[in-house]
Amino acid sequence: MKPQNLEETLVWYYITGTYVLLFLGAQYIFAPMLAWFLVLYLIKKLWEQTEETPVEERISIPLGVWIWIVSMLTIGLALVVGHLEFNLGTIKTIKSFVNAFLRTWALLAVFPLIGCLKIRPQLIYRAICILGIQTLVLVPVSYLLSIAGVPMPLFTNHIFAKIGGNITRYYAATLYLSEGGATRLSLFAPWSPALALAANIHIVLAEQEQNKKLRYLAIIGNVAAILGSASRLGLLCLISLPIIRLVLVNLARPSMQIALGISSFLAGLFGSQLLLMAKNFKDYFDSRRAASSRVRNILGRLAIDKWHEAPIWGHAVKSPEGPYVAARMPIGSHHTWFGALYLHGLVGFIALAIPMLYTLISLLIKAQQSKIAQTGLALILVMFIFSLAENLEGLAFLYWPGLMMLGIAFKEEFSPTFV
């Protein structure tokens, strides 16, 4: 499979060259550059589009993408108003708009918009499989380097760090991290849970590859990455996502409706036991990395408490360093929803909730008939799951192929049928 146009060429070589960009410390710079270049290219194509343009070459932007665009622009407005309310100054406002919006929140709308270009889903699936096979090779290599005591990061691009801002971890080639004597893989991600997020996204995409050999090797590589990351949420997503997806994509089938009816009846009979099991599982889940769970819980409570100081527009910026009781982690980090509430207030929270819910519902309906919509539905489910432990906006540069697939799923024509 080969790229057939400019947009496919750029997407193909970026995905398959992800590890090259990693070792250059360039991902955090190049992903937004790719996004905004392709947006300008899309605008050019729309500008040149006429009634004489062949139907197969025309570009249209579906409602789902417009909802993401308007919602993310609302978060951008909240960021600016928050800066004005706290008198943070013009220079600080401009810097924040570039670094904390154009390269984060905006990408949640920009990459689905790019999906409206003529990019074949099969090309994305194949590129992700090639990346997954590279991951499969690097997993044992990373463990060998860890055993040999090779220090990490291997390389940090300080020039890009000065240009792009943010912590140097975004510009470092860090294949693994050592925590308490244990090795946790991070590979092409800035930290281990971020790798688990990207790997789960990649599994969803790799599953659609037609070549069985490539598909299985890519899935094995990404499963190895998730296991190596030691991310509890990553493992939970890996196990639970196929079950959730199986139920949701078959809701229109009478057999699934009967099965859900029986399950609801049994759940009513054994409700107290099921609640106890759920509580025990949560306690076990938290105990696996008790210190991390404690910090996340504290950050969540602090974000809610601080949110009351700026309930509508939020605080606009994260504190450079959080309190000692939260391991110095900034308030608003480690949770997308608490982060949106703390940073951008009720406006930002609602502006994120609307497109997320719309995407879930619209793709759930389309998924009863469409394979591409089923893929999109699985992707938004992964995003929902990881929104409870990561800041989705800050990692958009990492899992952007999944965001682009959402745009492709949105633009697919759908004619509902009722039996």
- Cβ(369)–Cβ(173) below 8 Å: no
Backbone angles phi, psi at 152, to 5 degrees: -115, 150
Residue 267 is assigned to a structural domain of this protein: no
- Sheet strands (E) in 88-211: 155-156, 172-173, 176-179, 182-185
Domain that holds residue 215: 6-49+58-253+277-411
Residue type, 249: V
Report the chain's C-alpha Rg in angstroms: 22
Q: For residue 172, what are the β-bridge partners?
A: 156
Domain assignment present for 268: no
Is 417 domain-assigned? Answer: no
Q: Decide if 270 is inside a domain.
A: no
Instruction: Please tell me the predicted confidence (pLDDT) of residue 419.
Output: 39
**What is residue 334's DSSP assignment?**
S
Q: How many domains does the chain have?
A: 1
Cα gap 102→386, rounded to integer Å: 21
- Sequence-distant (6+) residues with CB within 8 A of 221 are 132, 133, 134, 135, 136, 137, 139
Rounded to whole angstroms, how far apart are CA atoms 153 and 369?
A: 46
Q: Is residue 313 part of a domain?
A: yes
Token pair listed for 377: 């539905």
Distance (Å, whole) CA 284 – CA 144: 31
Amino acid at 291: A
Determine the Cα–Cα distance for residues 318 and 295; give it in Å rounded to an integer. Answer: 16
Which two three-digit tokens encode residue 395?
């990692």
- HSE, side-chain direction, 13 A CA sphere, residue 331: 21
Cα separations in angstroms, 417 against 255, 365, 373: 18, 11, 15
pLDDT by residue, tens only, the chain of 419 residues: 789 999 999 999 999 999 999 999 999 999 999 999 999 999 999 998 888 888 878 899 999 999 999 999 999 999 999 999 998 888 999 988 988 899 999 999 999 999 999 999 999 999 999 999 999 999 999 999 999 999 999 999 999 998 887 888 999 999 999 877 789 999 999 999 999 999 999 999 999 999 999 999 999 999 999 999 999 999 999 999 999 999 998 887 888 778 778 877 677 777 677 666 666 666 655 666 667 778 888 888 888 999 999 999 999 988 767 777 777 788 888 889 999 999 999 999 999 999 999 999 999 999 988 999 999 999 999 999 999 999 999 999 999 999 999 999 999 876 655 43
pLDDT (0 to 100) of residue 351: 97
pLDDT at residue number 418: 42
Please indicate, yes or no, if residue 116 is contained in any of the structural domains: yes
Across the strands, what pairs with 156? 172
Does residue 303 belong to any structural domain of this protein? yes
Distance CA 109, CA 95 (A): 20
Are 58 and 67 within 8 A, CB to CB?
Answer: no
Is 262 inside any structural domain?
no
Owner of token pair 């719309």: 358
**Region of residue 173 (phi > 0: left; psi between -120 and 50: alpha; otherwise: beta):** beta
